[in-house]
């Protein structure tokens, strides 16, 4: 049968997704087919459920890898479409529409259908009646996970799309591993009650895997976009100092910056750079962040004073930079000299 949408106002189509797959970053099943919706739907429509008994095991079909695969887990037994006017059987809805227009439609219906592929109100009413009859007489059969018996449900029931989900597990009388929880219900068949348990264990597992894949795919796509926008561009950074082939203007500016004569050679420039680097390392080695040269911890006032003289809150031990800090021995020497000047006889 060709799967189409119902022509009357309904909230669900005739065909339903039975596999949870990821195509185009979306779930194949409807978002409203959740555990909560299933509980409410089951409470309203469980009276139409039944059990089909099977004594023997289902036939198995060996595949190329010599593994036995069950013939089916969920089966839809569609009844043949019949014309509501002459009860003629057709294969699908396309042929049903052609038959209704050709044999029972008016001349205007035939013109509209041939030119615009539309049908009149009478043909639509016959079409809906035929599809409704087929849905009412068709059955959805789902095999129990721990039994050869099958759970049956009318195809037009709101429970049908839930039973068509491949990963939905249905257990007969008792719950089996790996399912850990389920929704229990007693189904009455021939005045006898049978417990049936529905488990969303695999459904939730597959949905979580799909959502993780979607998040990963979105992250990788976003990362690829950022990488394209932030691609590293190789920029040639020429070293004016150490390159041997310099222009006369570059050589003159470099010699002036290094305080060398304009006729200096490449070796003299390298030696000057090495000397400046060694001096810089020695200068950094004599600086201390918070400890004085005598090992005492620097006070907050001394730090504030030094911060006004240096850019990194350090105390120079030696050098030409002026500072108010003096070595204690120098302080004693200065005081002695001052006292000597004041006590010198006239």
* Same domain assignment for residues 54 and 143: yes
Q: With cut-offs at 50, 70 and 90, classify the pLDDT of residue 327.
A: low
* Same domain assignment for residues 276 and 205: no
Last residue within a domain, chosen from 185, 215, 245: 215
> Averaged over 40-48, what is the pLDDT?
87
Q: How many domains does the chain have?
A: 3
> Averaged over 156-160, what is the pLDDT?
86
Per-residue pLDDT for 19 more than 90? Answer: no
Per-residue pLDDT for 71 more than 50? Answer: no
* Same domain assignment for residues 243 and 304: no
Q: Count Cβ neighbours within 10 Å for each residue of 202-216 and write b for 16 or more, e otherwise.
A: bbeebbeebeeeeee
* Same domain assignment for residues 70 and 144: yes
Of 24-28, 193-197, 291-295, 322-326, the range with the lowest mean pLDDT is 24-28
* Same domain assignment for residues 198 and 143: yes
> Averaged over 53-63, what is the pLDDT?
59
Separation CA 83–CA 97 (nearest Å): 9
Of 134-148, 184-198, 201-215, 317-331, the range with the lowest mean pLDDT is 317-331
Q: Is the dihedral of CA 117, 122, 128, 133 positive or negative?
A: negative
Per-residue pLDDT for 26 more than 50? Answer: no
* Same domain assignment for residues 156 and 195: yes
Per-residue pLDDT for 69 more than 80? Answer: no
Mean pLDDT of the chain: 74
List beta partners, residue 194: 187
Of 5-9, 170-174, 228-232, 313-317, the range with the lowest mean pLDDT is 5-9
Residue 280 lies in a domain: yes
Give me the domain span that covers residue 58.
Answer: 35-78+138-215
Residue 18 lies in a domain: no
Residue 326 lies in a domain: yes
Q: With cut-offs at 50, 70 and 90, classify the pLDDT of residue 313.
A: very low
Residue 223 lies in a domain: no
3-state DSSP assignment of residue 27: strand
- Confirm if 85 and 126 have CB atoms less than 8 A apart: yes
pTM: 0.48
* Same domain assignment for residues 326 and 248: no
Q: What was the pLDDT predicted at 3? A: 36
Last residue within a domain, chosen from 155, 187, 215: 215
The HSE-up count of residue 43 (CA atoms within 13 Å, CB side) is 5
> Averaged over 284-310, what is the pLDDT?
66
List beta partners, residue 169: 199
- Alpha helix segments (H runs only) across the chain: 35-45, 93-99, 107-116, 121-137, 160-163, 201-229, 248-257, 266-285, 300-309, 328-343
Residues present in the chain in total: 346
Place of tokens 């150490």: 242
* Same domain assignment for residues 201 and 308: no
Task: Compute φ and ψ for 119, nearest 5 degrees.
Answer: -125, 155
Residue 43 lies in a domain: yes
- Helix, strand, coil % (nearest 5) of the chain? 40, 15, 45
Residue 71 lies in a domain: yes
* Same domain assignment for residues 279 and 296: no
Separation CA 138–CA 78 (nearest Å): 5
Per-residue pLDDT for 158 more than 70? Answer: yes
Residue 330 lies in a domain: yes
Q: What was the pLDDT predicted at 138? A: 86
* Same domain assignment for residues 60 and 144: yes
Q: What was the pLDDT predicted at 324? A: 52
* Same domain assignment for residues 74 and 209: yes
* Same domain assignment for residues 185 and 145: yes
Q: Count Cβ neighbours within 10 Å for each residue of 304-342 and write b for 16 or more, e otherwise.
A: ebbeeeeeebbbbeeeeeeeebeeeeeeeeeeeeeeeee
Q: What is the dihedral of CA 8, 10, 16, 21, to 10 degrees?
A: 130
Per-residue pLDDT for 176 more than 90? Answer: no
- Tens of pLDDT, residues 92-150: 888 888 888 888 888 888 888 888 888 888 899 999 988 888 888 888 889 888 888 88
Q: With cut-offs at 50, 70 and 90, classify the pLDDT of residue 216.
A: very high
Residue 61 lies in a domain: yes
């Amino acid at each position: 049968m060709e799967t189409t949408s119902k022509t009357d106002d309904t909230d669900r189509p005739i065909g339903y997704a039975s596999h949870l797959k990821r195509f185009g970053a979306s779930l194949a099943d409807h978002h409203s087919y959740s555990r909560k919706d299933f509980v409410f739907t089951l409470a309203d429509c469980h009276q139409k459920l039944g059990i089909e008994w099977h004594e023997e095991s289902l036939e198995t079909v060996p595949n190329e890898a010599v593994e036995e695969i069950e013939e089916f887990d969920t089966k839809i037994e569609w009844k043949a479409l019949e014309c509501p006017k002459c009860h003629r059987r057709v294969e699908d809805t396309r042929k049903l529409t052609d038959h209704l227009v050709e044999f029972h439609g008016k001349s205007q219906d035939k013109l509209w259908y041939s030119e615009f592929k539309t049908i009149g109100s009478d043909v639509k009413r016959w079409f809906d009646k035929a599809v409704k009859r087929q849905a009412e007489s068709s059955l959805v059969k789902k095999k129990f996970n721990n039994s050869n018996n099958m759970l049956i449900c009318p195809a037009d029931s709101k429970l049908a799309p839930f039973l068509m989900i491949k990963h939905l597990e249905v257990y007969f009388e008792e719950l089996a591993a790996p399912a850990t929880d389920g929704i229990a219900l007693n189904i009455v068949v021939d005045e006898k009650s049978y417990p049936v348990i529905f488990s969303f264990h695999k459904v939730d597992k597959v949905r979580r895997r799909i959502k993780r894949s979607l998040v990963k795919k979105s992250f990788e796509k976003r990362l690829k976009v950022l990488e394209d926008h932030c691609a590293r561009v190789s920029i040639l950074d020429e070293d004016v100092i150490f390159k041997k082939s310099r222009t006369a203007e570059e050589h003159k500016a470099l010699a002036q910056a290094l305080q060398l004569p304009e006729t200096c050679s490449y070796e003299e420039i390298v030696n000057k750079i090495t000397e400046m680097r060694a001096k810089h390392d020695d200068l950094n080695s004599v600086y201390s962040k918070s400890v004085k040269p005598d090992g005492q911890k620097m006070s907050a006032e001394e730090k504030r004073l030094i911060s006004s003289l240096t850019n990194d809150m350090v105390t120079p031990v030696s050098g030409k930079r002026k500072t108010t800090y003096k070595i204690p021995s120098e302080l004693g020497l200065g005081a002695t000299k001052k006292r000597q000047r004041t006590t010198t006889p006239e």
